[in-house]
Amino acid sequence: MSEDRLDKMRLELRRGALVLAVLASLRQAQYGYSLRKSLLEHGIDMDEGTLYPLVRRLADQGLLNSEWQQGEGRERRYYALSPEGVELLEKLTQEWQLLNGALATILETGK
C-alpha cells in the first residue's frame, strides 16, 4: 500500500475523533495553546492549522463559549463547552462508545 493512501485514510479516520477530543477537552476552559498541549499529552497531535479553525467553527456553531481573560501577563481567549456543547458531547460519546464496541467486535472476529 502506498504511503499516500495510508495518510489519506488516516486523516479520514481521525476527523471525527478530533472533534470529539476537542469537545471533551473543553469541559474545562482552556486557551488554544493549553488545549493543544493537553491533547498532545493524551497522544493526539494536532497542528495549529487544524486546531484553531476547528475551535472557531465549534464556537460559531454555538457549541463553545469564549471569553478573553488575563493570564500570565497577557490576554488570551479561553474556550469552554456551552450548554449545547455539553449535550452534544454526551450524545457523541454514547455514539462513539457504541461504534467503538461494534468495531472492536468486527476487528477481533474478522466478520
Local confidence band at 68 (pLDDT 50, 70, 90 cut-offs): very high
Residue 62 Ramachandran class (φ > 0 left, ψ -120 to 50 alpha, else beta)? left
All structural domains of the chain: 3-109 (1.10.10.10)
Q: What is the mean pLDDT of residues 82-95?
A: 97
For the residues 15-38, what does the mean pLDDT come to? 95
pLDDT score of 111 more than 70? no
Residue the block writes with cell 471525527: 16
pLDDT of residue 15: 87
Q: Based on DSSP, count helices (H) and strands (E) in the chain, helices before strands.
A: 4, 3
Count of C-beta atoms within a 10 Å radius of residue 81:
22
Q: How many angstroms separate the CA atoms of 88 and 16, rounded?
A: 13
Mean pLDDT, rounded, of the chain: 93
How much of the chain exceeds pLDDT 70, in percent? Answer: 98
